[in-house]
Amino acid sequence: MFIVMVAPECAPVAKAGGLGDVVFGLSHELEIRGHAVEIVLPKYAGMRYEDVWDLQPSHHDLWVPWYDGTVHCTVWFGYVHGRKCFFIEPHSQDNFFGRERMYGYDDDALRYAFFCKAALEYLAASGKRPEVVHCHDWHTGLLPVLLYEQYAQVLGDQRVCYTIHNFCHQGLTSPEVLWATRLGRVDHFLAQDRLGDDTHHGAVNPMKGGVVYANFVTTVSDTHAAEARYGDSACGLGHTLHRYQDKFGGVLNGVDYDVWNPETDPYIPAPYSASTIERKYLNKEALRERFMLRKSWSPLVAYVGRVDEQKGMHLVHHALFRTLAAGGQFVLMGQEQKHNGINGHFQHLKDHLNNNPDSHLELSYQEELAHLVLAGADLLVVPSLFEPCGLIPLMAMRYGTVPVVRATGGMRDTVFDRDHGEHADDRRNGYVFQHTDNQAIDSALQRAFGLWTDYPEDFRSLMLNGMRADHSWHRPADHYLDIYEHIRHK
Ligand code: GLC
């Protein structure tokens, strides 16, 4: 099958979160199975260009209709660790992607509407006719809309699979986007059964457009799919999902085990596997050295991820102090989110703990360093308020790092409590708590510290259970291929 991924991110060149890992990992697995996969991305100024091999213009003259004119684009081609990537570079005063960051601009909705339109123009102009276009998150929600409304004649047989990684960001914007993309007909598209937002009257909701127009819609775990449909986790889209329940489901993400593999990891000083797990402690030493933590016989707890309200940062804050009070060490590596009040808080905390030999706060995300943190830590806290999938705990388990997570979204499907629940002993792989208050995470951490300190052999079994579980892309790719086949023949 020929599949084109259209996405705002692809790891490691353009990654803000797990979405980037998914686009890379799923594409990789599909290619291993013999499918042809191409990835279309914006050409961001701030990409990690050192990870793109043989970058060169592949299409010089792409003219993308925009308002009542056209925007000239160059499409670049390059390999990202083996994946075939096409990068769209518009030449216009708007300078859509030639900016410092990927996201967080007032015109984000227009930037990505343009991206969707350009991606389709590119398929049309280059003669590429994938069987399936797989697009991701609100940024590409307008793609199936534009495909159906404007490109059906040229790109008639393309089917769209639309994956939602985060319902919290839906790309709400004014109807101007309808003029910019030449969809026009404001009343028609603003109708509640098309792109009109259910609560913000008069606003265009690109993610809703994706749900309504795509041939199949997924989110990244079964539990989150149910939460979104029946609970309030879909941030206002529950009704729409319910309406389209026949084409909506959960597919749990996988992890690319070629990238996240402690046995072959080039970013850690002492590679190890389940049978040489004692070598993990060499990495713990290296991590301590790297962050100038003192050597001691104590558990090392990590938080890795965006510094964002979604992640339950007040509980991360609490876990940090609890860990220090219990004689442990704490490492945080979190990416700063612009326009986010929490940020200042952790910067302040960093200054406050500057000379503390048992903690380190790294307020930026560094891919290579993330490998060392996961390899060096004993425990990983993920107290998210909501978590569609939660890739970090899956990666952590691969490195024998025991997750301490809140029971929400995909983490309900992947992390099973050591002491409670109905899972067989050899599937229990972490600690799970329910509530979002301090006591909840306290009791989970306390249980974890207790096992680490008093029953090291049992703690080791927990580590091994995590390492042995299969969270590769193997099963999820089967699942996506079934979906692709299903929509192709509809
Ligand atoms: C988003 C979600 C996260 C998920 C990731 C990849 O970042 O918040 O739970 O793992 O997308 O799908």
**46 is a domain residue:** yes
- Give yes or no: residues 35 and 125 share one domain: yes
Indicate if ligand 1 lies below 6 Å from the C-beta of 166: yes
Taking the C-alpha atoms of residue 177 and residue 110, their distance in angstroms, rounded to an integer, is 6
Q: How far is CA 260 from CA 220, 278, 377, 392, 400, in A?
A: 19, 18, 15, 11, 12
Ligand 1: which of 309, 389, 392, 480 to mutate, judged by most atoms within 8 Å of the beta carbon?
A: 389
d(CA 152, CA 36): 22
Determine, yes or no, domain membership for 190.
yes
3-state secondary structure of 375: helix
> Does 390 contact ligand 1 (Cβ within 6 A)?
yes
Contact 285, 293 (CB under 8 A): no
Token pair 């213009």 in the structure block, residue:
57
| Residue 193, CA distances (Å) to 22, 202, 208, 315, 406 in order | 30, 13, 9, 39, 35
Vertex 386: Cα angle to 375 and 464 (nearest 5): 30
- The CA–CA distances, whole Å, from 14 to 76, 280, 318, 408, 418 equal 15, 29, 31, 27, 36
Q: How remote is the C-alpha of 49 from its chain's centroid? A: 20
For ligand 1, is residue 251 a contact (CB within 6 Å)? no
Ligand 1 in contact with 391 (CB < 6 A)?
yes
Question: Same domain, yes or no, for 482 and 430?
Answer: no
Give the total number of structural domains in the chain: 2
The answer to whether residue 261 is domain-embedded is no
For 208, the enclosing helix (H) or strand (E) is: helix 206-213
With a 6 Å cutoff on the Cβ, whether 8 touches ligand 1 is no
Angle at 165 between CA 163 and CA 168, to 5 degrees: 125
- Reported as type and span, the H/E element at residue 239 is helix 238-243
Residues 93 and 152 in one domain: yes
Cα of 354 vs centre of ligand 1, distance in Å, is 31
Instruction: Indicate if ligand 1 lies below 6 Å from the C-beta of 149.
Output: no
Residue 26: predicted pLDDT:
98
Same domain, 223 and 304: no
Q: Assess whether the C-beta atom of 335 lies below 6 angstroms from ligand 1.
A: no
Is 313 in the same domain as 244? no
Verify that 293 and 214 share a domain, yes or no: no
Which stretches of 34-121 are assigned E, i.e. beta strand? 36-42, 52-66, 69-80, 83-91
Q: Is 280 found in the same domain as 238?
A: no
Q: Tell me the best of 136, 165, 223, 310 to mutate to test the pocket of ligand 1, counting ligand atoms within 8 Å of each CB and taking the most.
A: 165
8 Å CB contact between 295 and 288: yes
Question: Of 216, 298, 286, 214, whose CA–CA distance to 250 is shortest?
Answer: 216
332 pairs with which residues across the strands? Answer: 303, 361
Strands 83-91 and 69-80: antiparallel
Same domain, yes or no: 105 and 71? yes
CATH number at residue 231: 3.40.50.2000
What is the 8-class DSSP label of residue 118? H
* Claim to verify: residue 283 and residue 242 sit in the same structural domain: no
Domain that holds residue 454: 274-468
| pLDDT computed for residue 258 by the predictor | 96
Identity (one letter) of the amino acid at 145? V
Asked if residue 412 has its Cβ within 6 Å of ligand 1, the reply is: no
List the one residue out of 301, 458, 464 whose CA is nearest residue 397: 464
d(CA 139, CA 119): 12
Tell me if 383 sits within 8 A of 315, measured CB to CB. yes
Q: Are residues 459 and 478 in the same domain?
A: no
Q: Are residues 318 and 219 in the same domain?
A: no
**Same domain assignment for residues 406 and 359:** yes
Q: Count CB neighbours of 124 within 10 A.
A: 16
| Residue numbers in the chain where pLDDT is lower than 50 | none
- The CA 217 to ligand 1 mean position distance, Å, reads 15
Dihedral, CA atoms, 42, 43, 48, 50, nearest 10 degrees?
Answer: 130
- Residue pair 461/427 in contact (Cβ under 8 Å)? The answer is no
